[in-house]
Structure formats: C-alpha cells, structure tokens
Structure 1
C-alpha cells in the first residue's frame, strides 16, 4: 500500500520533474537530449550485462576502477546515470566499451519498458540511491542488487525514517549492502536493512586511480602560470564570489592564479562574467591554455579535475560554503595538495574529520577565515600537510577489492 501511494504521488509530480529538466536544458542542452530514455524507452542491449548505476560525476569516477576490472574479465556493462555530466564522464572514461543509458523516472511502467530492453544479471548501485520502484522491479525479476559504498547521514536517516514502512520494504529488496562506516551500517539497520545482508567495507573513494595523463597536463599548466595557483573545485552558486572576494584581498605581490571550476556546466558562463569584475586578465579553458598573464582561469571543461588539481598549490573544495554538504576532498589529498573547506561537510564528514585530524585539511567557518587561511597556506612550506593527505588515502585503500570479491560471488 505504501508503495502504491508513493507511485501515485510520483505520478502527480512527474510533470514538474519534466518541466524542471526542460528548464535546466535552457542553460545546458544536454538535459533534454535522450529524454525518452527517462521514460524507460531505450535501445536494447545484448546479452546479460552487469548494470551499474551512478548518479553523477563523483560516483562515476569512484566506481570506474571496478568497471575496468569487470571489462577486463570479459563482462559487458550497462551504465546508467541521472545527470548529463555523469553521462559525459562515462563516455570520456569508457567510450564505446560500455552501454550508457539514463535511469528512468521511478514509476513501475517505466521499469517494465526498461527491462523489456535490458536483461542484466546484477544491479550495482553506487552510494545511496534508494528508489522504491527501481529496487522492487529489479528484485521481482530475481536480479541481485548490491548497494555499494553506501552512506547515510543523520539528516538523510531522519528523512527516510518518516516513511519507515516504505523504506523497510525497499531495503529488503537489496541482496547486499556495503556500508562505508559502522555508523552508516547502524542507521541502515535501524531503518530495517537485514543484518545478514549488511557489511561494513570502507569507502571505495580511497581507491583513487590517478590518471597520469591528466597529472602531466596539470603540471604543464602550472609551469605556464609560473606562480602560485589556488584551485576552487566544484563550486556552487555563491561560492565563486566568496572565493573571488577572498582572492582579491590577498596582497598583489602574493596573489595566486585562481582556477575556478564550477560544479555545474550551466554556470560556466555566469562565473566567467562574474570573474571579469575582479580582474582584466580573466580567461577560461575553452578560450586559452594556461598563461603567466592570467589572473583567473575558469575551468569550463568536464573530466579534467585531476588536471586542475595538478596545476595547483592549494585546493578549496566546494559545496562547503553553499550548505550542500561539501564534495570529495580525497582527490586533492591523493595528489598531496593542502586542502581548505568551509563549514558544510555532512556528505563527507568522516573523511573530512580524518583528513583534519591527520593535519591534511583545514576547515574554516567564515569568509574572513577562508581569506586568511588561503594567504597563510600559500605562504607556508606545506610538505607535512601534503604528505599527511597522501598517507590518509594510502592507509585506507582496499574497499574496492572487497566490493569486487562480493560482486564475483553474486555473478
């Protein structure tokens, strides 16, 4: 009954979801491309692929090493994402070696159509995508479901608990849930996840595959800039101005090149226009390569985050001043970059806490602290801080191997 009510409500809201997608497509046309796939009408795949679902860019990057291993073992892979940026990441990393589709909206009829086109042998979902009809439709077809790298913040836990009956039934569709931490596992158990199908395996995001080609590109950019570089990665609306204001108060002779990389492609142009109010020497990746005369460089490309990080001396990780819980700081940590973040951290609280306690990351509470820390960190020898980040990543590797072993058992 709970799922029927959920489906009825979802059906009523579906026009709003479509409208929102079309509105977003006014700034980023990719949102309206292949729209029919979101209704479950998709080109058929051959055989019985392993189905991987990752919402967007971060999840796609995290699961990519596992996908490579599966491809090396001769498995075929169907990869679904929710966002066009995730789709672009899949295309860049795998090309035609995997089949990409958009995940349908969460209604039974759409998954009936979806499974008419695909016959996966297993569904692996990256992180916490608990969609009732997706999981029920998959489980009813006797397809094993693995929820990998699962995390559940206290905030999300309270949200799911309001619909405890629906949440419990949905979780019982899952064959195996691999939680990042014991605290995540306890929350899932409290929501009704059977304990005998629940493991704590750590975070696969520590198993970072460093792309040497991007690292070399970034080093070449850094040499071309010929001075200190601050990268502000995955920034949200409002954070670009915060970084620009902090950058602008640094004395001219100490001021670094600022690389701004907005989280969402539809904001590339607006951030570029904003930056032009702070300097006469503003450019962007699509207009020019790195140059010693550039003050502010907008990273308006996809799939090059490791290159941007490799060009920098200091990293600010976005989402941490916008109230959106922060983004993953492990990529700059793996590259040995000192890291600064704002107060919002619920998406990666455990990882941020670990990096802080080991001396690899500084967390600030306000814009004034941010400006001061940027100035101090760029003026310091940060060798110990850099090594601390590398050590944290290396010490916590292994979750991907544990996940691979569990997937092998199920297929």
Structure 2
C-alpha cells in the first residue's frame, strides 16, 4: 500500500467513522461529544509549554497517571495534554486528574486534522503509550518538529504479523518516531524485526501503579458486607464471556457459601449481564443497589465505575476477564499487586509477558477455556493454603518488577536531544 492509497482509504472511511461513532453513542453517548476534535477542531486553550500524552483507553490512562508524576519532576512548569480515543478512557482521565491536565480526542489520521492538532496545541514533545501507530499523525509531528516517543511499548506476535503485512506504512510510521521504549526484550525484538531504530527495554510501567489506600479501604468495606462468603471476582469481562462464566459456575457446583462477582468492562452492558445471571436462575444482586448481601445471593454484578481495584481487594480469587475469549486479556498486574491469586484463560496477547512471568512466579495459572478457569477458581476457593501461597507469590512478582516508570522518564529525557530527525515520507 502506498501513501496515496492510505490517504484515499481514510477519506473514504471518514464518513463511515462518524456513522460508527453515532452507532456506538447509543450505548456510550460520549462518543459524539466534541465531534469536531476528531477532525482537528479544538476549543481555545491558554498558552503553555505542553507535554502531549496519548492514552487510548482506561488501562493506558491509569498508566499515564504515574508517568505524569514522573515527568512533572523532570519538566516542572509544563502543562500535560492528555488525548484519548474512547469515552471510558476520557472519563478515567477526569477521575484521575480533574483539572490538572488538558484533554482532547486524538484526531483521525487525516493530514489536515493531524496538522491542526499540532498547530493548535504546539507540544514540546509527545508520548504515545503502548501500541498506537498512526502514520500521518507521526509524520505531522515530525513536520512540526515535535519528537514523539512510543513508550511502554508492546507488540504481540499477532500485531507484528499485521504490521509486517504493510511494510511501507510500518516503515513510514516507525521512521517518524523519536524512539521506542519497550516493555520486554520480546517486544523490542519484534519492533526491531519491523525496522524500528534501536528500541530499548525499560519495563512495564503498570507494575509501578500504586493501589490507592481508598480502594483498599473500600475493598475491606466490601468484604465486611460479604461476611464469611468465599469470593471469586471475574474482572473486566467482555461480551460473550459472562454467559460462559455463568454456565461454567453452575456446572462446577461451587460451595454453597461461594459468591461469584462479575464486573463487566463496559458500563453499557451492566443491565445485559444482570439479565443473563437472572435468566439462568441465579439469585442476583447489583452493586449499584447498595444493599446488604442477601444470604441466598449467588451472583453479584459489579455495576459501578472506578471500583475495579476495590473488587479485587475484596476477592479471594480473581479470574481475568478478556482472557476467556479472544480479547487478549485485561491487566492482571493490578490483582497481583493486591496479593490475589489469578486465573487467566487462553487469550493473553495484550499482557503476554506479564502473564507468562506471573505464572512462572507461581502467582497465576492458565486455564484452557472458561469452564476450566472457573473450575480452577473453585479449586482455589476450596484450598486456602494453596490460595494464600499463590497470593503471596503474586504480590512478590508484582513488587519485583517495579521501577520501570523512572527508567522510562529518564530515557525520555535523554532521548529528547537526539530525537529530532528528518521527516520520513
């Protein structure tokens, strides 16, 4: 694919992108808020020296919080511009930062929109978290003399194959980066194979996320309300997983005092998941009802925002959502950091290195499918010594991998002087 074809593809897809936003807004109205920003039209902002950080959704936004703090030490007086692609990511940014940062939608990868973005905000440099490579955006950054770093970068084998299918686009995007700081050596090797110039390994900054005391206290309060129940939390579930979990839970015949807590990743699915549990005959309650847990309740739906860490803190065992079907898993590091044994399913490509390392450390185990995962969870509920040993191993694993955020911030500082390079077109 040539650059003109890429441009043409975006021009043809742009109207469909708006239709897709409109369709998604039926469940999440935030998709249509400030629609002009998707095309580079932004409200007036005060003049300031800015650092731009792009965090596509919730997990990256939480990781951005610790990076913001680390960069603030090295670049005092700079204002942070935080961009997102999803309403949940933007809402998390509001929750974490309030008015401490400026926030905007990242524009579509159309030349006029990306050029407007840089002309409007004029960041001193940019940091893109994980794997968001937009060729035109990066070209516009280079043209505007804005070094952009791909930080906390990960690249699964699947993604590497996809990028390799479009070598010209990939070379174009990678050539306009100021540098790549990879999570692991495997990630760095995959970037190198695609032609990236000398990626470095700084580690995964998600290990440096501190669990807020408020979340630990809230989890303790949850636990007190649950009494002596044994608690399995299935966190950040995706569409299709909840039905599998509920069916597997019923088939495995859990102990009478076991409570299954399902926390859907997307709030627009809370009602749907509650209906799934009720339709299967489970006595079901919802967190939002804020009621005492009834003795007969077997399933609790975690239909609240911003409380995932509290749910994990209240758990005896955590099953990782997004790993039971082919979604690549959600972040198991948070549960490990709370000292909880973790069960992951077969799909973990978003956290492949962390999953493998947690399993090797004895803090997590892998199941072949949802049925096996729920069976493993119940086995752990029935085996307190093994459960506690896994929890201790999970905590030790999480603590032993801290320190990446300082390495990353230092690397960014060092790379700034060397990052200005000719535009690759």
Q: Same fold (TM over 0.5)?
A: yes
Q: Structure 1 unaligned runs (5+)?
A: none
What secondary structure, in the 3-state scheme, does the structure 2 residue paired with 1:308 have?
Answer: helix
When residues 70 and 254 of structure 1 are mapped into structure 2, their CA distance, relative to the original with a 3 A threshold, is: same
**Are 2:74 and 1:75 equivalent residues in the alignment?**
no
SS of equivalent residue, structure 2 residue 203: coil
Secondary structure in 1 matching 2:56 = coil
Specify whether residues 199 and 298 from structure 1 end up closer, same or farther in structure 2 by C-alpha distance, changes over 3 A only.
same
> What secondary structure does 1:258 align onto?
strand
Counterpart of 1:243 (choices 242, 245, 251) is 245
Q: In structure 2, how many angstroms separate the alpha carbons of the residues matched to 1:379 and 1:75?
A: 52
| TM-superposed deviation, 1:37 | 1.3
Distance 1:182 1:338, change over 3 A: same
1:209-253 deviation line (CA, Å, top 9, x unaligned): 111101100110111011111111111111111111222235464
Query: What secondary structure is seen at the aligned counterpart in 2 of 1:129?
Result: coil
Residue 371 of structure 2 corresponds to residue 368 of structure 1: yes
Structure 2 distance, partners of 1:300, 1:86, is: 17
Aligned pair partner of 1:399 in 404, 408, 412: 404
Query: Is the 2:48–2:78 Cα contact (8 Å) retained in structure 1?
Result: no
Bigger RCO of structures 1 and 2 (CA < 8 A, at least 6 apart): 2
CA contact (8 A) 2:336 2:342 kept: yes
Q: 1:390 to 1:35 in 2, by over 3 A?
A: same
The CA deviation at 1:277 is 1.9
1:261 aligns with 2:260: no
Residue 278 (structure 1) shift: 3.5
Q: Cα distance, 1:301 vs. partner?
A: 2.2
d(CA) in 2 for partners of 1:253, 1:323: 29
Q: C-alpha displacement at 1:56, in angstroms?
A: 0.3
Range with greater deviation from structure 2 (110-119 or 167-176) = 110-119
Question: Which segment drifts farther, 23-32 or 76-85?
Answer: 23-32
Q: 2: distance between equivalents of 1:239 and 1:35? A: 32
Contact 1:88 1:302 in 2 (8 A): no
What's the secondary structure of 2:288's corresponding residue?
Answer: coil
CA distance in 2, matches of 1:402, 1:303: 28
Asked whether the 8 Å contact 1:221–1:290 carries over to 2, the reply is no
Indicate conservation of the 8 Å contact 2:152/2:181, yes or no. Answer: yes
Q: How does 1:10-409 map to 2 (within 5 A)?
A: 10-45=10-45, 46-71=47-72, 73-195=76-198, 198-226=199-227, 227-251=229-253, 253-279=255-281, 281-289=283-291, 291-293=293-295, 294-381=297-384, 382-409=387-414
More displaced, 333-342 or 3-12? 3-12
SS of the aligned residue for 1:344 comes to coil
Aligned-partner Cα distance in 2 for 1:192–1:252: 51
Contact 1:85 1:302 survives alignment (8 Å): no
Note the alpha carbon deviations across 1:247-266, whole angstroms, 9 max, x for none.
22354643422221111222
Return the alpha-carbon distance in structure 2 between the equivalents of residues 26 and 281 of structure 1.
Answer: 29
Kept in 2: contact 1:44–1:118 (CA 8 A): no
The 1:402–1:290 alpha-carbon spacing in structure 2 relative to 1, beyond 3 Å, is farther
What is the alpha-carbon distance in structure 2 between the residues aligned to residue 250 and residue 228 of structure 1? 15
Structure 2 CA distance for partners of 1:165 and 1:252, relative to 1, 3 Å: closer
Length-normalised TM-score, structure 2: 0.92
CA distance in 2, matches of 1:240, 1:263: 11
Instruction: Check whether the contact 1:124–1:148 (CA below 8 A) recurs between aligned residues.
Output: yes
Instruction: Please tell me whether the aligned partners of residues 50 and 78 of structure 2 are also in contact (alpha carbons under 8 angstroms).
Output: yes
In structure 2, C-alpha distance between the alignment counterparts of 1:174 and 1:65, rounded to whole Å: 22
Separation in structure 2 between the aligned mates of residue 380 and residue 280 of structure 1, nearest angstrom:
24
Q: Is the 8 A contact 2:70 2:406 kept in 1?
A: no
Residues in 2 aligned to 1:74 and 1:230: alpha-carbon distance in whole angstroms: 45
TM-score (norm 1): 0.95
The residue number in structure 1 matching 2:422 is none
Cα shift at 1:319: 1.0
- 1:320 Cα deviation from its structure 2 partner: 1.0
Give distance in 1, aligned partners of 2:274 and 2:300: 8
* Structure 2 residue runs without a partner (length 5+): 418-425
Distance across 1 between alignment mates of 2:362 and 2:231: 21
